Amino acid sequence: MALERFVNEASSEWMKCGGPDGDIVISSRIRIARNLQSYPFPMLATNQQSQEVLDQAANVVNSGDLQEIGDFTLIPLSDLNEVEKKVFVEKHLISPALANESRNGAVMLSGNESISIMINEEDHLRIQCLRAGFQVQEAWETANQIDDIFETHLGYAFDENRGYLTSCPTNVGTGIRASVMIHLPALVVTQQINRILSAITQVGLAVRGLYGEGSEAIGNLFQISNQITLGQSEDEIIENLHSVVRQIIEHERAARAKLLSESGHRLADRVYRSYGILSHAIIMDSKEAAQRLSDVRLGLDLGILKNGSAQALNELLVMTQPGFLQQYAGKKLTPEERDIRRAELIRRQLAQQSS
């Protein structure tokens, strides 16, 4: 079944091909928020109204207009158990809000999982497009194409002065969130990260953790996105993000080069210590696993380690999350059981890479 594939495979197909600047930028994402003009926002909608929104969205997919973009599978959230919902969140296929609070919530997934259309989340529609590496513009082009198709079938809530109307005022206007997931271990190690993050927030961008708003930045992974959706065009929003992220990439590369030239032995020691701990630990929590995997990834990117791949480490980042560990085990696990299985899974995966 399609559902089994979505929940049982840690790495989405779109992540397996790599991408531009993939040693630093893990992924690029565009998310568009839209609402139907004839219905109240999801938080105020009745069960019947939210079902009608779901039916209308499904009709767009059934019309065949999206076929040139990809084949989509509609998955009602009611078809997922709690562990499966966690897996979907961990793979960034749905948001925590959709997993926890939706009425008649659903997600439409493309076959390679690069496109997910969330229905009845905070807004009626959340169109999300993901690309590997630094490909914000490419993600926007696909998202915009999908948005145009939906708009030809559905009447969007739109105001001539305010733009697209959304449940949260911070999304009013274009309704677009452009973001990148970026790996910045050298800036963290050289203690430049706070200065960089402070500068980012001063130019209208937000910095969040691995799973967006309210989440912690673990494993030196940061999600950088626009804060302003009103008063700027989509192209201006994307260009601003692109320009700032390009500068961050250059700072990270410079910090990596400095670490290699001035503290090469210390850096190598850090990388090999993390590799050794990951290869032999019996118990490991998710925060330590993310930090150790970050060190190993940096070692691979800089040529300190010769065996392994960034793709395998991306998979481990998902596979070691609580939801996927429980899905893999086929049962709910206590925190200690998860820590034991996490360490076991990492040991096995690293052993396979080195063999």
Residues 171 and 314 in one domain: no
> Are residues 137 and 245 in contact, defined by beta-carbon separation less than 8 angstroms?
no
The response to whether 282 counts as a known ligand-binding position is: no
Q: Quote the domain boundaries for residue 273.
A: 264-354
- Do 310 and 231 have their domain in common? no
Inter-residue contact 224 to 245 (CB < 8 Å)? yes
Query: Are 71 and 207 in the same domain?
Result: yes
Going by C-beta distance under 8 Å and a sequence separation of 6 or more, which residues neighbour residue 154? 36, 56, 57, 60
- Give the CATH number, domain containing residue 61: 3.30.590.10
Q: Distance between CA atoms of 226 and 102, rounded to whole angstroms?
A: 25
- Can you list the alpha helix ranges (DSSP code H) found in the chain? 2-8, 47-62, 82-90, 96-101, 136-153, 185-189, 193-201, 234-280, 286-301, 310-319, 322-329, 335-354
Looking at 251, 279, 297, which one is the last position of a domain?
251
Same domain, 247 and 271: no
pLDDT for position 1: 41
One domain for residues 239 and 200: yes
Is 246 within any annotated ligand binding site?
A: no
- The answer on whether 278 is annotated among ligand-binding residues is no
Q: Is residue 189 domain-resident? A: yes
User: How far from 175 is each of 34, 108, 144, 178, 253, CA to CA, in Å?
Assistant: 7, 19, 12, 10, 33
211 carries a ligand binding annotation: yes
Query: Is 263 labelled a binding residue?
Result: no
pLDDT tens for the chain, 355 residues: list them. Answer: 456 667 666 667 777 767 899 999 999 999 999 999 989 999 999 999 999 999 999 999 888 888 889 889 999 999 999 999 999 999 889 999 999 876 899 999 998 899 999 999 999 999 999 999 999 999 999 999 999 999 999 999 999 889 999 998 888 999 999 999 999 999 999 999 999 989 998 888 999 876 555 556 688 999 999 988 888 899 999 999 999 999 999 999 999 999 999 999 999 999 999 999 999 999 999 999 999 999 999 999 999 998 888 888 888 888 899 998 998 888 999 999 999 999 999 999 898 877 6
Annotation-wise, does 131 bind a ligand?
A: no
Whether residue 210 is annotated as binding a ligand: the answer is: yes
> Does 35 fall in a domain?
yes
What backbone phi and psi angles, to 5 degrees, belong to 34?
Answer: -140, 150
Question: Bridge-partner residues for 143, per DSSP?
Answer: none
Residues 6+ apart with CB under 8 A from 332: 83, 326
Q: What is the pLDDT of residues 297-308, one digit of tens each?
A: 999 999 999 888
Q: In this structure, are 244 and 280 located in the same domain?
A: no
Residue 214 structure tokens: 């309210």
172 annotated ligand-binding residue:
no
Give 109's strand partners. 73, 116
213 is in an annotated binding site: yes
Q: For helices 234-280 and 193-201, what crossing angle results, to 10°?
A: 160
Question: Are residues 188 and 269 located together in one domain of the fold?
Answer: no
Tell whether 180 is in a known binding site: yes
**Looking at the structure, do residues 63 and 84 belong to the same domain, yes or no?**
yes
Residues 35 and 80 in one domain: yes
Q: Is 133 annotated as a binding residue?
A: no
The pLDDT mean for the chain works out to 90
Q: Which of 230, 251, 272 is the last residue of a domain?
A: 251
Residues 246 and 113 reside in one and the same domain:
yes
DSSP notation for 155-199: -B-EETTTEE--SSGGGTBT-EEEEEEEE-HHHHHTT-HHHHHHH
Residue 111 shares a structural domain with residue 172: yes
> Is 27 among the annotated ligand-binding positions?
yes
Residue 258 falls inside a structural domain: no
Last residue of a domain, one of 221, 251, 281: 251
Residue 208 marked in a binding site: yes
Contact 7, 102 (CB under 8 A): no
- The response to whether 209 counts as a known ligand-binding position is yes
State the pTM of this model: 0.90
Question: Does residue 46 fall inside a structural domain?
Answer: yes
Domain count, the chain: 2
Residues 118 and 153 in one domain: yes
